[in-house]
């Protein structure tokens, strides 16, 4: 599933053609994705201006001029591509073979910007909904969602407070979307390696109260910010389905330190460890048993 950097990369690619544009026409080519579309979905979108294209965790949020928000989730295999009649006037166009994708083009937005934005989802685990802006924070999708890992409040003290007294493994707590929203398996593995923290250590062990614990929490907060920021700058990680909105692959996967590197030497120059893989809560965890404590 695309993680926060991939979703943010898609947002940045779509923003130039969607933000400020009017949805001249919306076409829905099937009755549902992960769940049914809202009633009169296409009709309610037609004629609406997109005033802002934002993101909350792994959701894209297109704010509309009628007070509603178009909520979009990529699911496991969802992607957007941009097609344009005047290709020289728009910053991004599709690089995908059209015939290969057409059978899974489920939603199409024709925009006043001259662009056509197409949502393609072979596995149909994506989601689209319309929610009043005033109800967004308390809607079932967002009501229990934790802090944004790239938000201003993110820091060592906050992480320590969230994890205080928790005996669950540190990695499991980082993946708990009710505490920190948007972190996924890949970038948690990478951030823990950067912070030199074992994915198995009790989460509460980095709570404030001791200088060493505070240092660990600060290191983890910095590592999370850095790895997410670098991944966004690299266009995300393309492992299976992810592409940027212009059709390009992301390339952060070429910079993984531990993820999917089982059996390889730890890339830290002062470490002699070998990257290992273990399973935590049904997910593969990659880590260095020597430098991550």
Tell me the catalytic residues: 2-3, 58, 283
d(CA 124, CA 34): 6
Give yes or no for a contact between 172 and 280, defined as CB atoms under 8 angstroms apart.
Answer: yes
Q: How many residues does the chain have?
A: 293
d(CA 45, CA 54): 17
Give yes or no for a contact between 133 and 166, defined as CB atoms under 8 angstroms apart.
Answer: no
Q: 211-233 and 185-194 helices cross at what angle (nearest 10)? A: 130
Retrieve residue 132's tokens. Answer: 């009043």
Taking only Cα atoms into account, the Rg of the chain, rounded to an integer number of angstroms, comes to 20
Burial of 176 (0-12, 13-18, 19+ CB in 10 A): middle
Give yes or no for a contact between 60 and 18, defined as CB atoms under 8 angstroms apart.
Answer: no
Residues facing residue 63 across a β-bridge: 52, 69
Place of tokens 């928790």: 166
Which 3 state secondary structure label does DSSP give 128? strand
Which 3 state secondary structure label does DSSP give 255? helix
């Amino acid at each position: 599933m695309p993680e926060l950097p991939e979703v943010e990369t898609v947002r940045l690619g779509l923003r130039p053609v969607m933000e400020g544009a009017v949805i001249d026409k919306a076409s829905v080519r099937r009755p549902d994705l992960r769940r049914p579309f809202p009633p009169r979905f296409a009709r309610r979108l037609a004629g609406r201006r997109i005033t802002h294209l934002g993101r909350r965790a792994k959701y894209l949020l297109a704010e509309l001029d009628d007070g509603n928000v178009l909520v979009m989730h990529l699911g496991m295999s969802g992607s957007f591509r941009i097609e344009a009649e005047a290709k020289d006037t728009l910053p991004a166009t599709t690089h995908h073979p059209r015939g290969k994708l057409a059978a899974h083009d489920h939603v199409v937005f024709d925009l006043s910007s001259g662009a056509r934005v197409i949502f393609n989802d072979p596995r149909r685990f994506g989601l689209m909904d319309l929610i009043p802006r005033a109800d967004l924070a308390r809607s079932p999708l967002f009501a229990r969602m934790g802090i944004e890992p790239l938000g201003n409040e993110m820091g060592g003290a906050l992480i320590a407070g969230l994890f205080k007294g928790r005996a669950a493994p540190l990695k499991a707590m980082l993946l708990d979307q009710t505490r920190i929203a948007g972190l996924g398996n890949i970038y948690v593995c990478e951030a823990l390696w950067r912070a030199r923290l074992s994915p198995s250590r009790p989460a509460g062990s980095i709570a404030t109260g001791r200088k060493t614990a505070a240092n660990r929490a600060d290191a983890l907060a910095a590592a999370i910010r850095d790895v997410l920021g670098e991944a966004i700058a690299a266009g995300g990680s393309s492992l299976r389905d992810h592409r940027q909105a212009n059709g390009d692959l992301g390339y952060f996967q070429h910079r993984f330190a531990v993820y999917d590197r089982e059996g390889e030497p730890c890339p830290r120059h002062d470490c002699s460890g070998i990257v290992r893989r273990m399973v935590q809560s049904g997910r593969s965890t990659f880590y260095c048993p020597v430098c991550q404590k």
